């Protein structure tokens, strides 16, 4: 397809180098290629009823708002003020002592009645800062796409999408049909407070079919016929918009693309879980367990050893988008032998606990190291 449009605003891109990430379909064809990931640690509110945000690190301090359960927060600073909370689980009735300290956080969430700054017609989350007890903050690790072009393929091997990620998320996407012709170009400007967007769709011939533009200069929604004539103008005034089909050219300026990449490359890239040799005993049945030995996964029941319970195993990772540019890494453990396959989610693997979720039934299997 010929490139019929010239970009109006051009900025040089950082050097992309070699792709650091690849995944494949079962037929061996490429599924995704890209720049790789870096790991980012966030904190999440773990109190089921929410967590009080206060003006100062004191239980008697004025409450700003209640931060909802599951909200991602960033820790701005820590204090040396320790605190012990006696917490009772409303579902189980179990009471336990939770120790921690006061920390200052920043978060974005929808305010509720009684929260400082709440308005009934508020349609956007509010950015709020204040102090909370960190005993109800849970550490979460996420993977974030490194800035650069990521390419996604159909199983046939034809390119499906080219996506340009910045540190904030997707800022340009080119979508192709199964013949390799461009269907749509989308671009988003994260550093614009109004969230400017351009979406252009194309006929098979390469001519523009529809153009939608929303930015600080106005709004446009125009349909064209295959000869380039305007069929109807749904919104706004005429705007001189030409969006390049080159993934490296942008209509909008993106200041984050000019940032020094050295700091980014120094961030740790999360590795797949690496299981060490050892024996683990079920937390609910002391006779049941697993042994990891020299690349084999052995499921045993004491006194009933069986060679059919010896498996090869491998680990793969998939990513579930959770918030903005954050992707939650989800690891799968696959066990294979002549009898068939078993597959699990890896919930936790640490020195003191191995926890898996069996995909076949959804039940959780937990093990502790054999003493």
Q: Residue 132 in contact with residue 103, Cβ under 8 Å? A: yes
CA 229/CA 213 separation, integer angstroms: 18
Helix/strand/coil percent split, the chain, to 5: 5, 55, 45
Is the Cα dihedral 147, 320, 105, 194 positive or negative? positive
Percentage, residues of the chain above pLDDT 70 = 80
CA 120/CA 110 separation, integer angstroms: 11
Q: Does position 259 have pLDDT exceeding 90, yes or no? A: no
Q: What is the pLDDT of residue 320?
A: 67
Q: Tell me: the pLDDT tens digits for 332-349?
A: 899 999 888 899 989 889
Q: Which one is predicted more confidently, 216 or 56?
A: 56
Per-residue pLDDT band for 270 (boundaries 50, 70, 90) equals low
Q: Tell me: the pLDDT tens digits for 78-126?
A: 999 999 988 887 777 788 899 999 999 999 898 888 888 777 666 678 8
- Buried residues in 155-190 as b, exposed as e (16+ CB within 10 A): eeeebbbbbbbbbbbbbbbbbbeeeeebbbbbbbbb
Query: Which range, 9-13, 179-183, 242-246, is most confident?
Result: 179-183
Q: Which one is predicted more confidently, 364 or 313?
A: 313
Domains of the chain and any CATH numbers? 21-36+146-265 (3.90.930.1), 41-143 (no CATH), 278-369 (no CATH)
Q: Once rounded to an integer, what is the mean pLDDT over residues 213-229?
A: 79
Q: Which of 348, 239, 282 is nearest to 8 (CA)?
A: 239
Secondary structure of residue 138 in the 3-state scheme:
strand
On average, the pLDDT of the chain sits at 81
Q: What is the pLDDT of residue 321?
A: 64
Sheet holding 182-188, edge to edge: 21-24, 30-34, 148-153, 159-166, 169-176, 182-188, 197-202, 208-215, 218-224, 230-236
Burial class (CB in 10 A: 0-12, 13-18, 19+), 198: buried
Q: What is the pLDDT of residue 16?
A: 35
Q: Does position 13 have pLDDT exceeding 70, yes or no? A: no
Q: Among 86-95, 273-282, 288-297, 345-354, whose mean pLDDT is lowest?
A: 86-95
Is the Cα dihedral 178, 179, 184, 188 positive or negative? positive
DSSP structure string for 259-302: S-SHHHHTSPPPPPP-PPSEEEEESS-TTEEEEEETTEEEEEET
Q: What is the pLDDT of residue 262?
A: 38
Residues 6+ apart with CB under 8 A from 137: 43, 44, 45, 46, 73, 75, 100, 103, 105
Q: What is the pLDDT of residue 243?
A: 77
Helix intervals (H) in the chain: 262-265
Burial class (CB in 10 A: 0-12, 13-18, 19+), 116: middle
Q: Residue 185 in contact with residue 245, Cβ under 8 Å? A: yes
Q: Tell me: the pLDDT tens digits for 176-219?
A: 999 999 999 999 886 655 567 889 999 999 888 998 887 665 67
Q: What is the pLDDT of residue 278?
A: 94
Q: Which of 185, 150, 192 is nearest to 7 (CA)?
A: 185
Q: Does position 157 have pLDDT exceeding 70, yes or no? A: yes
Strands 126-133 and 137-145: unpaired
Q: Which one is predicted more confidently, 266 or 327?
A: 327
Q: What is the pLDDT of residue 19?
A: 41
Q: Residue 34 in contact with residue 151, Cβ under 8 Å? A: yes
Per-residue pLDDT band for 70 (boundaries 50, 70, 90) equals very high
Q: What is the pLDDT of residue 188?
A: 87
pTM above 0.75, yes or no: no
Q: Among 36-45, 322-331, 356-365, whose mean pLDDT is lowest?
A: 322-331
Q: What is the pLDDT of residue 307?
A: 64
């Amino acid at each position: 397809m010929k490139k019929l449009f010239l970009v109006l605003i051009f900025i040089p891109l950082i050097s992309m180098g070699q792709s650091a990430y690849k995944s494949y379909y079962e037929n061996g064809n490429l599924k995704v290629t890209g720049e790789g990931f870096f790991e980012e640690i966030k904190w999440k509110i773990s109190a089921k009823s929410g967590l009080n945000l206060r003006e100062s690190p004191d239980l008697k301090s004025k409450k700003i708002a209640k931060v909802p359960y599951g909200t991602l927060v960033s820790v701005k600073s820590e204090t040396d003020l320790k605190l012990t909370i006696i917490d009772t689980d409303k579902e189980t009735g179990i009471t336990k002592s939770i120790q921690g300290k006061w920390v200052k956080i920043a978060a974005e969430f929808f305010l509720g009645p009684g929260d400082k700054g709440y308005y009934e017609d508020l349609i956007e989350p509010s950015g709020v800062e204040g102090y909370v007890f960190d005993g109800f903050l849970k550490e979460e690790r996420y993977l974030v796409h490194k800035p650069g072009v990521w390419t996604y393929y159909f199983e046939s091997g034809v390119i499906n999408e080219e996506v340009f990620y910045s540190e904030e998320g997707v800022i340009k996407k080119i979508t192709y049909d199964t013949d390799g012709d461009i269907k749509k170009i989308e671009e988003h400007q994260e550093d614009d407070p109004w969230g400017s967007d351009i979406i252009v769709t194309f006929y098979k011939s390469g001519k523009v079919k529809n153009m939608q533009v929303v930015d600080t200069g106005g709004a446009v929604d125009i349909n064209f016929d295959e000869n380039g004539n305007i069929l109807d103008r749904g919104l706004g005034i005429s705007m001189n918009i030409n969006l390049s089909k080159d993934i490296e050219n942008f209509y909008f300026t993106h200041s984050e693309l000019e940032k020094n990449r050295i700091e980014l490359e120094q961030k740790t890239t999360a590795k797949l879980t690496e299981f060490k040799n050892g024996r683990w005993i079920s937390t609910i049945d002391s006779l049941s367990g697993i042994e990891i030995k020299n690349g084999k996964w052995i499921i045993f029941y004491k006194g009933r050893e069986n060679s059919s319970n010896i498996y090869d195993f491998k680990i793969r990772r998939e990513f579930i988008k959770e918030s903005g540019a954050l992707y939650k890494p989800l690891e799968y453990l696959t066990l294979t032998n002549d009898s068939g396959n078993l597959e699990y989610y890896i919930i936790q693997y640490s020195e003191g606990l191995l926890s898996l979720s069996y995909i076949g039934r959804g039940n959780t299997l937990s093990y502790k190291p054999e003493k």
